[in-house]
Homo-oligomer: A and B are copies of this chain.
């Protein structure tokens, strides 16, 4: 590719990444509407469904997000009665996030969401798996440069 061409929008991987991510979020928005969750909230729920009672920083490490994003997000989820936030008794710097009954219950309804998304991609599983790995590799490289 010629150097001037690199400034062309359509030649940029980064824009494909950015715009596809936004499109994916929109599909999720539709799929998650009946659960009353946003995509970010859904990610937090996935982590807590895997293992309940995690600190804000532990959640943040999984999601690559920090407390500036998570604290307000978790507070909104607390208001929605999906989870509770309490300081850890042994080390009060940590805030432990735990699911409410409603939060646990929601896992059942959420079961169909991945199906819907998979269907929306209209892609072969092998291709998606490959794409996932390429993205994770790219993410690893990019994070080194932040």
**Cβ contacts under 8 Å, A49 to chain B:** 7
With an 8 Å Cβ cutoff, the count of chain A residues facing the other chain is 65
Interface of A is mostly: helix
A27 pairs with B138, CB closer than 8 A: no
A9-B43, A9-B50, A114-B7 given; A14·B26 CB < 8 A:
no
Does A11 sit within 8 A of B, measured CB to CB?
yes
**Cβ contacts under 8 Å, A90 to chain B:** none
- Partner pick for A16 among B46, B50, B114, B139, CB 8 A cutoff: B139
Q: Please list 23 pairs of residues, one from A and one from B, whose beta carbons are closer than 8 Å in the complex, sorted by A's number.
A: A7-B46, A7-B50, A7-B107, A7-B114, A10-B114, A10-B117, A10-B118, A10-B121, A10-B128, A12-B132, A14-B24, A15-B43, A17-B24, A17-B135, A18-B21, A19-B139, A20-B142, A23-B64, A23-B139, A23-B143, A122-B141, A123-B137, A131-B134
